[in-house]
């Protein structure tokens, strides 16, 4: 895996930046990479593996979600590994340090002892996985979500300060997290201070190849003594599971854990039952860990950003993303809905891929199962009816066409001129989308009053609409789109005739 190779090379390069941030959406394999790095580093004579801390909100262990435990744990682990560090730490540690702010912990438990050590010429590696999962309300006085966002920020700034205090200090800090706001807005996201590896930017074919390798190695290892059972897992089975994973390691891990949960003898049968009859979805049991992950992410986001009055806006945006017929850009969806889409999705980068460029198409959920969760299994407060996205987009498309369609949209000097070879700048993605897809959303919508809007907004602009389709070289779709739209009104045949009646 390219990310793994780059990470291991970064550790040994003492001239490289001292912090590496692996940024990936939920389930993209961050923890798998972190665990593999720890395994490789612990057996590599060229690396001093100082220690690791794997944060988690799903294990039930309070310490794994209390950020105040991270630095003391790392210091203790390095003290067990290095007698020199242990002595330096003992000389500088103060009572009650475990309750101090993170900045003080980093200075007293890591920086001061490390500066007193003689360099061995080997990198000293610390690994902190899933830092964004620190926090949460508990019954034992630990930090709540609001406070933890602030402390996560403090932790990252303290780590950056640690590495910048002495560029020659041979430490390497590997941090993995989802692209949460409190992390993206810190110095760790500055390429001048950190090496940044984006898992969602890795080529899809490379990710699928890594997932396939993970599945096959797991099957080969667990069934090494059961060749007849291993033979039941065909290439088609593996390919179907890779396709189902859609780039997320967590789906593969969940599926394989489920497959072997009753032992190797039952594995083949459980695997067959795992994939449903259409071979394009997980069973309810296998989807449960993903649902738990989605519930945590949405609960965090709701607590940080939305009140009851704002929740419908979020639902409109998510429903529109899920119902859009092609991936839109931030700017296009914002134009259609009249909303600041980027601001509304600030806390949902873990489950929604949000392009950095507002004009870049690609706005989508990171995995199809998130849409299934929102439609079918999410709590009532956040659950979205399947027709909402079409209701919203049908209205939005008609309104955008009403505002933007006009005579000579191509800005031609004469009607004899050919259409421009490139789409004119005034034909925005939102308008092109509206003209191409309004009919499909109208046909799928359950919103009342669309027949009136079609008659009031679309019919007077029919020629303008045809002109735009001609400009974007899609005029051949016009008749089919009108037939689709006609199915949405109470008298489709009559309406279709009226739409074509230009007199």
Structure-derived torsion over alpha carbons of residues 341, 347, 348, 350, reported in degrees to the nearest 10: 140
Encoded tokens for 472 = 């974007």
- Asked which of 17-26, 40-49, 250-259, 357-366 is least confident by mean pLDDT, the reply is 250-259
pLDDT of 415-467, one tens digit each? 667 777 677 777 899 999 999 999 999 999 988 888 889 989 999 999 999 99
User: Which has the closest alpha carbon to 70: 57, 54, 86, 83?
Assistant: 54
Alpha helix stretches (DSSP H) within 388-428: 388-404
Residue 63 has pLDDT above 80, yes or no: no
Q: What is the mean pLDDT of the chain?
A: 83
- pTM for the model stands at 0.58
Q: What is residue 127's predicted lDDT score, i.e. its pLDDT?
A: 97
Separation of alpha carbons 174 and 74, rounded Å: 12
pLDDT reported for residue 247: 79
**Residue 193's pLDDT band (cuts 50, 70, 90):** confident
Q: What is the DSSP string of 241-273?
A: HHHHHTT-HHHHHHHHHHHTTT-GGGHHHHHHH
pLDDT for 502 equals: 45
Structure token digits, residue 338: 């009249």
pLDDT value of residue 75: 95
Q: What does each C-alpha distance from 337 to 2, 352, 394 come to in angstroms? A: 39, 17, 11
Render pLDDT for 67-97 as a digit per residue (tens, 0 to 9).
888 999 999 999 999 999 999 999 888 888 8
Work out the average pLDDT over 327-356. Answer: 88
Q: What is the pLDDT of residue 376?
A: 86
Tokens of 5: 């190779």
Band (57; pLDDT cuts 50, 70, 90):
low
Q: Closest Cα to residue 125, out of 154, 89, 163, 155?
A: 163
């Amino acid at each position: 895996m390219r990310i793994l190779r780059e990470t291991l090379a970064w550790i040994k390069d003492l001239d490289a930046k001292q912090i590496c941030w692996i940024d990936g959406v939920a389930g993209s394999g961050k923890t798998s990479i972190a665990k593999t790095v720890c395994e490789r580093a612990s057996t590599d004579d060229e690396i001093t593996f100082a220690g690791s801390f794997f944060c988690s909100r799903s294990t039930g262990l309070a310490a794994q979600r209390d950020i105040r435990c991270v630095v003391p744990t790392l210091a203790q682990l390095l003290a067990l590994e290095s007698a020199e560090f242990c002595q330096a730490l003992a000389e500088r540690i103060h009572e009650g340090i475990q309750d101090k702010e993170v900045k003080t912990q980093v200075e007293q438990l890591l920086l001061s002892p490390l500066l007193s050590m003689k360099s061995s010429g080997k990198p000293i590696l610390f690994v902190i996985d899933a830092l964004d999962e620190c926090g949460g309300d508990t019954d034992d006085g630990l930090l709540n979500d609001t406070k933890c966002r602030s402390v996560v920020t403090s932790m990252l700034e303290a780590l950056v300060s640690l590495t910048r205090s002495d560029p020659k200090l041979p430490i390497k800090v590997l941090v993995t997290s989802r692209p949460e706001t409190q992390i993206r807005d810190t110095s760790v996201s500055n390429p001048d201070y950190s090496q940044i590896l984006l898992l969602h930017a890795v080529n899809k074919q490379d990710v699928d190849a890594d997932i396939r390798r993970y599945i096959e190695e797991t099957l080969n290892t667990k069934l090494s003594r059961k060749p007849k059972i291993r033979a039941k897992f065909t290439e088609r089975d593996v390919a179907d599971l890779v396709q189902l994973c859609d780039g997320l390691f967590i789906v593969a891990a969940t599926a394989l854990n489920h497959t072997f949960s009753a032992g190797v003898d039952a594995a083949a049968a459980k695997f067959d039952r795992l994939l449903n009859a259409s071979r394009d979805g997980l069973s309810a049991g296998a989807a449960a860990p993903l649902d738990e992950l989605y519930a945590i992410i949405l609960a965090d986001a709701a607590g940080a950003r939305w009140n009851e009055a704002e929740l419908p806006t979020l639902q409109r945006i998510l429903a529109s993303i899920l119902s859009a017929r092609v991936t839109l850009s931030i700017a296009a969806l914002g134009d259609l809905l009249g909303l600041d889409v980027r601001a509304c999705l600030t806390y949902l980068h873990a489950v929604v891929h949000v392009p950095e460029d507002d004009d870049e198409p690609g706005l989508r959920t990171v995995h199809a199962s998130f849409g299934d969760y929102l439609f079918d299994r999410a709590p009532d407060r956040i659950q979205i009816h399947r027709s909402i996205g079409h209701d919203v987009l049908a209205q939005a498309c008609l309104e955008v066409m009403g505002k933007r369609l006009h005579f000579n949209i191509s800005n031609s000097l004469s009607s004899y001129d050919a259409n421009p070879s490139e789409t004119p700048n005034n034909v925005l993605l939102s308008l092109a989308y509206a003209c191409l897809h309004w009919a499909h959303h109208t046909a799928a919508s359950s919103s009342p009053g669309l027949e009136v809007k079609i008659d009031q907004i679309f019919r007077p602009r029919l020629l303008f609409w045809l002109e735009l389709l001609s400009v974007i070289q899609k005029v051949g779709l016009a008749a089919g789109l009108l037939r689709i739209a006609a199915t949405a009104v109470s008298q489709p045949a009559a309406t279709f005739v009226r739409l074509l009646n230009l007199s």
